[in-house]
């Protein structure tokens, strides 16, 4: 097992360095190895812990004096434990500075709350022409019953006796000191004997929050909207809310990008002789309760499966540059039951068409 590294070496400073120099070195090293900047990198996380441990000793005059005289062994058992809670508070302030635009980073590493994601289902018409919806999300809020401290009414959290309120315990194995979160308090530094029944000792509860979201015309399933500053709260502002779009199936239409596809059935006579037919339209009806339609001229002799293109009758484009097309697929009805007269007429029609077919051949 390797020995513990010298704290001065960890921070890259000399033993005679002033407290301010140690503070600057800690900021530099902590920012370099912080888990938020190195997601999934276990080695960076371990280096970050080592840097934090080194600073917790060298930033405290009493602990630093013990360390300078006796090394790591002198700190066994948490020597010089007075003011450790203040030290952790001080370190938290450092991180607030580091990730809120300080130290010349221009705010690029701001620490804000996490993002939230919800799914919202729209009708095809709402997706085509846009709408406003109230979206409900669950966000953490302070528990009113315990005022956020996690303890039952009439009680309050106590400083953990196992870690002396630091949230960490240290154990020496030979010349190596191991530091780990306190098992009794879970690293919180306080112990709750009677937990609040509402929040189960967490101090926060989930509460519904309603956000009005504007969905633009032309939005499609699988796309998502970003609503800034409506995510989880954080020390430097709330995160964002991402609304993922789902669109209900419409029995009249199939969507293909900005185009709509619909099918219209006409009797054989209309396909053969030509006719004016009404086909469904996605446009809002002129009066409530009515069904919106558009006229389509079917030329004589139109074959089954023919596709008519009605430009400008499809889905509005997200960029506002016009609309797609409505594609109408013609289907010819073939009756399944015929009266005697209908059969006779069809036989006459077949006889009439047969010679023409033979002559054409």
- Pair 85, 203 in one domain: no
Residue 185 lies in a domain: no
Residue by residue, DSSP assigns 44-78 as HHHHHHHHHHHHHHHTSHHHHHHHHHHGGGGGTTT
- Pair 152, 258 in one domain: no
Q: Which residue has the tokens 């006889």?
A: 351
pLDDT value, residue 355: 67
Cα 169 to Cα 336: distance, rounded to the nearest angstrom? 85
- Pair 215, 271 in one domain: no
- Pair 86, 133 in one domain: no
Lowest mean pLDDT among 278-282, 316-320, 349-353: 349-353
Cα 148 to Cα 202: distance, rounded to the nearest angstrom? 8
Distances (CA, A) of 144 to 147, 169, 188, 193: 5, 32, 20, 19
Distances (CA, A) of 27 to 64, 130, 253: 18, 48, 59
pTM, rounded to two decimals: 0.59
Say if residues 279 and 264 touch (Cβ distance below 8 Å). Answer: yes
Cα 138 to Cα 100: distance, rounded to the nearest angstrom? 26
Residue 336 lies in a domain: yes
Residue 264 lies in a domain: yes
Residue 294 lies in a domain: yes
pLDDT value, residue 81: 40
- Pair 67, 145 in one domain: no
- Pair 122, 205 in one domain: yes
- Pair 327, 298 in one domain: yes
The CATH number that applies at residue 67 is: 1.10.287.110
Last-in-domain residue among 208, 227, 247 = 247
Longest dimension (CA), the chain: 118
pLDDT value, residue 107: 40
Strand 259-267, strand 323-333: pairing: parallel
- Pair 130, 243 in one domain: yes
pLDDT value, residue 93: 46
Residue by residue, DSSP assigns 224-276 as EEEETT-S---TT----EEEEEEE--BTTBEEETTEEEEEEEEEHHHHHH-EE
The CATH number that applies at residue 222 is: 2.60.260.20
- The total number of structural domains in the chain stands at 3
- Pair 229, 335 in one domain: no
Residue 36 lies in a domain: yes
For residue 215, the number of C-alpha atoms closer than 13 Å in the C-beta half-sphere is 30
pLDDT value, residue 47: 87
Q: Which residue has the tokens 């015929």?
A: 338
Average pLDDT of the residues of the chain:
83
pLDDT, average across residues 105-125: 77
Domain that holds residue 314: 254-356
DSSP H helical ranges for the chain: 7-11, 19-33, 42-58, 61-70, 84-98, 124-129, 268-273, 340-360
- Pair 147, 238 in one domain: yes
Residue 182 lies in a domain: no
- The larger pLDDT score, comparing residue 51 to residue 252, is at 252
Last-in-domain residue among 98, 125, 143 = 98
Last-in-domain residue among 72, 98, 124 = 98
Q: With bands split at pLDDT 50, 70 and 90, how would you rate the model's confidence at 101?
A: very low
Backbone angles phi, psi at 191, to 5 degrees: -125, 130
- Encode pLDDT of 14-40 as tens digits: 988 888 888 888 888 887 887 767 777
The angle subtended at Cα 314 by Cα 308 and Cα 315, nearest 5°, is 160
Residue 342 lies in a domain: yes
- Pair 21, 136 in one domain: no
Q: With bands split at pLDDT 50, 70 and 90, how would you rate the model's confidence at 236?
A: confident
User: Residue 259: enclosing H or E segment and its boundaries?
Assistant: strand 259-267
Locate 168 and state its tokens.
Answer: 């960490």
Q: Which residue has the tokens 């990730």?
A: 99
- Encode pLDDT of 250-292 as tens digits: 999 999 999 999 999 999 999 999 999 999 999 999 888 888 9
Query: Percent of the chain scored above 90 by pLDDT?
Result: 39
Residue by residue, DSSP assigns 148-186 as TS-BPTT---EE-TTTTTSSEEEEEETTEEEEEE-TTTT
Classified as helix, coil or strand, 204 is strand
pLDDT value, residue 360: 52
The answer on pLDDT for 172 being more than 60 is: yes
The answer on pLDDT for 76 being more than 80 is: no
Backbone angles phi, psi at 16, to 5 degrees: -90, 10
Query: Percent of the chain scored above 70 by pLDDT?
Result: 84
Cα 91 to Cα 170: distance, rounded to the nearest angstrom? 19
Residue 84 lies in a domain: yes
- Pair 120, 239 in one domain: yes
Locate 100 and state its tokens.
Answer: 């809120």
């Amino acid at each position: 097992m390797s020995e513990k590294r010298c704290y001065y070496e960890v921070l890259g400073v000399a033993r005679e360095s002033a407290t301010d120099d140690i503070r600057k070195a800690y900021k530099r090293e902590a920012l370099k190895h912080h888990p938020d900047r190195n997601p999934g990198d276990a080695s960076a996380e371990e280096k970050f812990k080592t840097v934090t441990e080194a600073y917790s000793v060298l930033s405290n005059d009493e602990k630093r004096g013990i360390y300078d005289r006796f090394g790591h062994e002198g700190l066994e058992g948490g020597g010089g434990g007075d003011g450790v809670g203040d030290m952790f508070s001080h370190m938290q302030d450092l991180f607030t500075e580091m990730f809120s635009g300080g130290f010349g980073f221009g705010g690029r590493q701001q620490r804000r709350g996490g993002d939230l994601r919800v799914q919202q289902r729209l009708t095809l018409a709402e997706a085509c022409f846009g709408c406003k919806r109230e979206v409900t999300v669950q966000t953490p809020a302070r528990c009113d019953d315990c005022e956020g401290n996690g303890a039952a009414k009439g009680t309050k959290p106590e400083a953990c006796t196992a870690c002396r309120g630091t949230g960490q315990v240290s154990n020496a194995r030979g010349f190596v000191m191991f530091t780990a979160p306190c098992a009794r308090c879970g690293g919180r530094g306080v112990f709750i004997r009677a937990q609040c029944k509402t929040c189960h000792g967490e101090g926060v509860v989930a509460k519904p929050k309603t956000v009005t979201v504007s969905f633009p015309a032309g939005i499609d399933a699988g796309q998502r909207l970003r609503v800034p500053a409506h995510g989880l709260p954080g020390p430097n502002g709330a995160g964002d809310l991402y609304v993922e779009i789902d669109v209900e199936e419409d029995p009249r239409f199939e969507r293909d990008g900005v185009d709509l596809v619909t099918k219209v059935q006409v009797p054989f006579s209309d396909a053969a002789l030509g006719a004016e037919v009404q086909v469904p339209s996605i446009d809002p009806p002129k009066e409530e309760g009515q069904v919106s339609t558009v006229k389509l001229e079917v030329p004589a002799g139109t074959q089954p499966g023919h596709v008519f293109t009605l430009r400008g009758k499809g889905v509005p484009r997200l960029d506002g540059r016009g609309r797609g097309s409505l594609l109408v697929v013609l289907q010819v009805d073939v009756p399944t039951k015929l009266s005697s007269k209908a059969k006779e007429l069809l036989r006459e029609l077949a006889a009439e068409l047969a010679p023409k077919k033979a002559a054409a051949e």
